[in-house]
Structure formats: C-alpha cells, structure tokens
Amino acid sequence: MWVIDIRHWLNETMSGPAVPRLRLKVKKLGEIIAYATSRKCGVGTDSAPKCWRRPGRKPCAGTLDIGLDTSTNRIFWRCPVCEDEGVVCGWEGLIWDMSDISSDVYQ
Ligand SMILES: [Zn+2]
C-alpha cells in the first residue's frame, strides 16, 4: 500500500508543492483531504474527486472512493475503475483540513 506523508511534498509554508513536478499530485491530494475531512465534520461537499490516473495514456473516468480512518487519522482512496489506491497521512492542520472548522474555538 502506498502511504504518503503529504508534508514531505510541501514547501516551507505547507500550502503548496515543494517542487513544480509535485504540483498536480499535491493538488489532487488536497482535494482528497478536503473531501474526507469535510465529510467527517458534517459539512456539505461537492461530489468526490475524480481519479487522476491515465492508464494507457487515457484519462481514467473513475470517481474515487474516499474514507477517513479516525483511529489512525489516515485518509485512503481507491478508484473503482483502474484500482489505483493509496493512503495519505500528515494532513492535520494543513490548509485542506476542513475539520479545523469545528475546532476553531480551541485555538
Ligand atoms: Zn482510476
């Protein structure tokens, strides 16, 4: 299983990619994190992010299945079409972490 600590991919402000070639990956992971964390705290969201893979050089048409394991704070995704899957951690407190909305009073 592919486990990513997104902080390793970010610049020093923790809001963008560390290097230009990570730009698309960081953008997609940001969408996944925002989706998973906003669902967790009950905020209405748009539909789940689309798969970004290009199997056979054609864009995959899948919509990602995304979940949040609250015991480990790992967010996982899986594409039902191309079966790409992965896990991301290290997202807590980043700009994509929508769960901060409900804990603002503690900051
Ligand atoms: Zn796919």
For 33, how many CA atoms within 13 A lie in the half-sphere containing its CB?
26
Give the residue among 61, 70, 67 at the shortest CA–CA distance from 87. Answer: 67
Residues with CB under 5 A from ligand 1 (ion): 51, 53, 60, 62, 79, 81-82
Q: What is the mean pLDDT of residues 85-92?
A: 96
- Identify any residues that bridge with 50 across adjacent strands, giving them in sequence order: 63
Distance between Cα 54 and ligand 1 center (Å): 7
Distance between Cα 66 and ligand 1 center (Å): 13
What pLDDT was estimated at residue 15? 93
Q: Enter the pTM of the model.
A: 0.86
In sequence order, what DSSP letters do the residues of 3-30 get, joined into one string? EEEGGGGB-TTSSSBSSGGGHHHHHHHH
What pLDDT was estimated at residue 107? 38
Amino acid at 60: C
Distance between Cα 84 and ligand 1 center (Å): 6
What pLDDT was estimated at residue 39? 78
Q: What is the mean pLDDT of residues 64-93?
A: 95
What pLDDT was estimated at residue 77? 96
- Identify any residues that bridge with 66 across adjacent strands, giving them in sequence order: 77
Render pLDDT for 35-64 as a digit per residue (tens, 0 to 9). Answer: 999 877 676 667 899 999 998 999 999 999
What is the residue extent of each domain of the chain?
A: 9-106
